[in-house]
Amino acid sequence: MDSLFVIGQDAVPGRFEALPGEPLRLTFVVLPGTSCAVETEILLARRGCEVDIAGLYLCDGDDRFSLKLNLRHDAGECRSRQLFKGMASGRSRALFDGRVYVGHGAQKTSALQENHSLLLSADALVESRPQLEIYADDVECSHGATVGSLDAQQQFYMQSRGIPREEAQRLQKISFLSPVLDRLPEALVNEVMACL
């Protein structure tokens, strides 16, 4: 199953269940002007499931966005990947709360979760809560989270080659989002680009 959700337009089910031999691929997009709290659960209850989730959220103005993702590995030999990229500007607030749960006996689990955020204004706030809760030993689980801003050295490099500052920043943002942008249809990519 491969599903795309534009938050604010598409309803997100409260629960997804992965099936063996049928990779579950989910993509979430949040465009500026969206204020909401999304909460969903992804279940890997049978052996040999594969889940690949990605998302990007662009928060601006007075947006309040929170995403709560509860991924449960209840059966062994499953694999999950999560990648979330967020940008907060204006006076917006963005919260990512992602939990990876590996139940007792869910051996040979491989779970990876990443959440990267760019904080682009002094009045915005970014919060990230990547969580691991693990009750099985033969597993490989990891998560990474970063919060930062656009790299000034990269900007300088581009400016010194004649790219105006604003364009340089735009390129930086595109490259930041590109792993998720690759998964989107062209029309939506254009819509995202127009917001940068």
Partner 1 sequence: MGKKTDISAGIAAGGEYKEGFVTQVEQDFVPKGLSEDIIRTISARKGEPQWLLDFRLDAFRRWQKMTPPTWGHLQLPEIDFQDIIYYAAPKRDEDRPTEIDPALLETFDKLGIPLHEREVLAGVKPKSNVAVDAVFDSVSVATTFRKTLSEKGIIFCSFSEAVREHPDLVRRYLASVVPAGDNFYAALNSAVFSDGSFCYIPKGVKCPMDLSSYFRINASGTGQFERTLIVADEGSSLSYMEGCTAPMRDEHQLHAAVVEIIVEAGADVRYSTVQNWYPGDAEGRGGILNLVTKRGICRGEGSHLSWTQVETGSAITWKYPSTILKGDNSSSEFYSVAMTGNFQQADTGTKMIHLGKNTRSRIISKGISAGHSQNSYRGLVHIGPGADSARNYSQCDSLLIGSDCGAHTFPVIRSANPTATVEHEATTSKISEQQLFYCNQRGIPPEDAVALIIGGYAREVLQRLPMEFAVEAQKLLALSLEGAVG
> CB-wise, 12 or 112, nearer to partner 1?
112
The distance from CA 135 to its chain's CA centroid, rounded to whole angstroms, is 25
> CB-wise, 56 or 102, nearer to partner 1?
102
User: Shortest approach of partner 1 to residue 151 CB, angstroms?
Assistant: 10
User: Shortest approach of partner 1 to residue 178 CB, angstroms?
Assistant: 20
DSSP characters over 134-164? E--SS-EEEEEEEEE---HHHHHHHHHTT--
User: Shortest approach of partner 1 to residue 149 CB, angstroms?
Assistant: 5
Q: Which long-range contacts (CB under 8 A, 24 or more apart) does 168-172 make?
A: 170/196
Query: CB of 120 within 8 A of CB of 148?
Result: no
> CB-wise, 104 or 161, nearer to partner 1?
104
User: Shortest approach of partner 1 to residue 127 CB, angstroms?
Assistant: 5
Provide the token pair at 15: 């629960």
> CB-wise, 19 or 136, nearer to partner 1?
136
Q: Which residues contact 138 (CB under 8 A, 6 or more apart)?
A: 107, 108
Residues near partner 1 (CB under 8 A) are: 104-105, 107, 117, 119-122, 124-149
Amino acid at 85: K
